[in-house]
Amino acid sequence: MFTEQANEIFRQVINDYHRRDNVDHPVANPWPEGGIEHLLYLKNWIDTVQWHLEDIIRNPQIDPTEALKLKRRIDASNQERTDMVEYIDSYFLHQFREVVPAPDARINTETPAWAIDRLSILALKIYHMQQETQRPDVEQTHRDACREKLNVLLTQQIDLSTAIEELLDDIAHGRKFMKIYKQMKMYNDPALNPVLYGQK
């Protein structure tokens, strides 16, 4: 199934990243360009780096100048993440290009790639919650509480994977159809952010 492969690639990425645990280490995507595997690997790499950038910027002792640099880096990462989602949706649009939707076909609340985006973030939550269940420097009550949370996340992963499989099957058989709206983020666009265009 597609989501089995996606979840396995996400685990691969997270493990690859944590061998060095360095937000500046370049991505070494082992999958050939042009395939969905390459896109999934890159998507989760972006998410994994951003996860750790978000941790770093919350350090109460961080230098304000460094924090501003990180905030702008996170903004750029968010744009990159959005672009990757749209690339993945383009892959599915191409895959289903010959499917003729049924007359009563329905549209979904989100595209396949935005659901996959949530699956990618969920893989990161699972990894880091698993780490919390193994910490030697905390009370057992902390580990037990994190184990309960981990079980919920694992159930959520199963449910979300099932929902994605059902969505892809519905699209493949014309019961639902895809429609993509570009995210049109305004804060990064100097023509649309009033703080930026007001300085001209």
Q: Tell me the domain boundaries of the chain.
A: 2-189
Residues 6+ apart with CB under 8 A from 84: 39, 42, 43, 46
Residue 109 CB burial class (10 angstroms; 0-12, 13-18, ≥19): exposed
Q: Which pLDDT score is estimated for 189?
A: 72
Helix axes 140-172, 112-132, angle to 10 degrees: 160
DSSP state of 100: -
How much is the pTM?
0.91
Q: Which pLDDT score is estimated for 185?
A: 66
Mean pLDDT by 10 residues, the chain (200 residues): 98 98 97 96 98 97 97 96 95 96 96 98 98 97 98 98 98 95 70 72
Q: Which pLDDT score is estimated for 199?
A: 73
